[in-house]
């Protein structure tokens, strides 16, 4: 009987993994129906998606031990964060399968904490879309300060796969308190992909979502993070496109991306170029120091409030350094 049950669970497990796998073509703009600009920009964003899917499938299928899976990637150093994010999603879903009783997400987050902590929290949030009944178990693994990034990841997931619904105003129900705001930060990040790195188009999408609402600050914060971390070509005077009231949030997102990149030990060229346009009056190293200092200043807050107070502190400190100081 035991052997028979094991066979049944093994069959269910394998079928579930194969069903949940993503084909690399899911990152193609033709499939996603995103805005198409130059071939170079399309290639930029498609490669990010395919890198994420590579990590996701490897972790989901268990093709490599979680301890060595980082060495299985073909990603360039600048793309390893996206790969790690995908691994986190795959690990979280694999942990939910009935026959495994594994703790791969725990192991992955602990193992890659130094370089990809934020990305892995976001990746775990992608899994909430596929295994929502695991919400508590997934959140329990996460750092209490960064747990909101899981809902950021959920917002990115929904916008990446269902952007037409999102841009018409759809938003997941049953998001409690700050979960909804973190979700919108993920929506803002994903809109940079939907717009194929076109700031004017991204602005139109956000303006539509923010119509008669207070979502703008979170959407622009997410967009600023995506512009800086994922890269893209900005106009020389981005402040001419963006409503001045959102410039501080855009800069805060940019600063968070710089701090995330600093954990990996280098800043891609495009990341530096974006930072010079969005926060030109402060150096990258000083900006990273400002982000870290601001975090230490909010540690006395209730742990559930630390993330938002951290964002506000960074936003306020940067307000004098935006787009040539014009704000």
Predicted confidence (pLDDT) per residue in 283-307, tens digit: 999 999 999 999 999 999 999 999 9
154 domain-assigned: no
Residue 261 lies in a domain: yes
pLDDT digits (tens, 9 = 90+) for 149-183: 999 999 999 999 999 999 998 999 889 999 999 99
Last-in-domain residue among 113, 143, 173: 143
Q: Cα–Cα distance between 230 and 232 in angstroms, integer?
A: 7
Mean per-residue pLDDT of the chain: 91
Query: Average pLDDT, stretch 230-241?
Result: 88
Full domain range(s) for residue 281: 162-327
Residue 1 pLDDT: 45
| Tokens representing residue 35 in the block | 């805005």
Does position 244 have pLDDT exceeding 60, yes or no? yes
Q: What's the mean pLDDT in 195-206?
A: 95
Residues 322 and 235 in one domain: yes
**Of 143, 177, 202, which residue sits at a domain end?**
143
Cβ–Cβ under 8 Å, residues 229 and 272: no
3-class DSSP state for residue 34?
coil
Tokens coding 244: 């001045």
Same domain, 37 and 139: yes
The pTM is what?
0.93
The answer to whether position 168 is within a domain reads yes
- Asked if residue 322 and residue 274 are part of one domain, the reply reads yes
Q: In this structure, are 80 and 201 located in the same domain? A: no
How high is the pLDDT of residue 219? Answer: 97
Using alpha carbons, select from 226, 223, 252 the residue that is nearest to residue 317: 252
pLDDT of amino acid 7: 52
Domain count for the chain: 2
Shared domain check, 184 and 105: no
Whether residue 9 has pLDDT greater than 50? no
Q: Is 178 among the domain residues? A: yes
With 80 as the cut, is the pLDDT of residue 54 above it?
yes
Q: Please, are residues 11 and 203 in contact by the beta-carbon 8 Å criterion?
A: no
My answer on whether 240 and 169 are in the same domain is: yes
Report the 10 Å Cβ neighbour count for 247: 23
> Which pLDDT belongs to residue 41?
94
Geometric angle at alpha carbon 192, from 188 and 196, rounded to 5°: 160
| Whether residue 48 has pLDDT greater than 50 | yes
Q: Report yes or no on 126 lying in a domain.
A: yes
Are both 184 and 137 inside the same structural domain? no
Average pLDDT over residues 22-33: 97
Is residue 175 domain-resident?
yes
The predicted-structure confidence for 84-111, as pLDDT tens digits, reads as follows 999 999 999 999 887 656 899 999 999 9
Q: What is the pLDDT of residue 90?
A: 96
CA distance 122 to 183: 11
Please indicate, yes or no, whether residues 128 and 182 belong to a single structural domain of this protein: no
| 233-244: average pLDDT | 87
Of the pLDDT bands very low, low, confident and very high (cuts 50, 70, 90), residue 2 is very low
Specify the range with the lowest mean pLDDT, choosing from 11-25, 210-224, 233-247. 11-25
Q: What radius of gyration do the chain's Cα atoms show?
A: 19
Span 104-144, pLDDT tens digits: 999 999 999 999 999 999 999 999 999 999 999 999 999 99
My answer on whether 171 and 138 are in the same domain is: no
State how far the Cα of 310 lies from the Cα of 178, in Å rounded to an integer: 14
Name the domain boundary from 112, 143, 174.
143
Backbone φ/ψ region at 229: left (φ over 0), alpha (ψ -120 to 50), beta: alpha
- Judge whether 153 lies within some domain: no
Looking at residues 14-43, what average pLDDT do you find? 90
Q: How confident is the model at residue 198 (pLDDT cuts 50, 70, 90)?
A: very high
**Structural domain contains residue 108:** yes
Clarify whether residues 203 and 124 are in a common domain: no
Q: Is 73 helix (H, G, I), strand (E, B) or coil?
A: coil
- Residue 6: is its pLDDT beyond 90? no
CA dist 85 and 17 (Å) reads 18
**pLDDT score for 243:** 87
Is 109 found in the same domain as 172? no
Q: What is the mean pLDDT of residues 8-23?
A: 69
Taking the CB of residue 319, how many other CB atoms lie within 10 A of it? 14
The verdict on 65 and 182 lying in the same domain is no
């Amino acid at each position: 009987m035991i052997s028979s049950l094991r066979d049944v669970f093994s069959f269910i497990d394998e079928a579930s993994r194969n069903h949940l796998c993503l084909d690399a073509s899911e990152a193609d703009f033709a499939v996603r129906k995103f805005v198409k600009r130059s071939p170079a920009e399309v290639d930029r964003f498609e490669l990010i998606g395919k890198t994420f899917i590579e990590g996701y499938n490897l972790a989901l299928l268990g093709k490599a031990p979680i301890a060595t899976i980082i060495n299985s990637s073909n990603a360039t150093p600048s793309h390893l964060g996206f790969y790690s994010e995908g691994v986190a999603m795959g690990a979280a879903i694999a942990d939910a399968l009935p026959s495994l009783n594994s703790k791969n997400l725990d192991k992955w987050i602990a193992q890659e904490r130094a370089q990809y902590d934020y990305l892995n929290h976001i990746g775990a949030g992608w899994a909430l879309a596929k295994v929502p009944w695991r919400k508590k178990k997934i959140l329990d693994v996460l750092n209490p300060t960064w747990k909101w990034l899981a809902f950021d990841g959920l917002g990115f997931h929904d916008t990446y796969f269902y952007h037409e619904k999102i841009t018409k105003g759809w938003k997941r129900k049953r998001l409690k308190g700050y979960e909804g705001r973190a979700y919108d930060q993920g929506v803002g990040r994903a809109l940079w992909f939907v717009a194929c790195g076109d700031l004017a188009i991204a602005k139109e999408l956000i303006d539509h979502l923010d119509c008669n609402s207070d979502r703008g600050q979170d959407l622009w914060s997410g967009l600023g993070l995506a512009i800086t971390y994922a890269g893209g070509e900005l106009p020389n005077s981005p402040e001419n496109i963006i409503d001045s009231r959102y410039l501080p949030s855009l800069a805060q997102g940019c600063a968070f991306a710089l701090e995330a990149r600093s954990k990996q030990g280098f800043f891609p060229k495009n990341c530096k170029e974006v930072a010079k346009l969005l926060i030109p009056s402060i150096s990258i190293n000083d900006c990273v120091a400002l982000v870290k200092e601001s975090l230490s200043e909010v540690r006395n807050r209730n742990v559930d409030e630390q993330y938002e107070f951290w964002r506000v502190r960074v936003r306020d400190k940067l307000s004098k350094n935006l787009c040539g100081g014009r704000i």
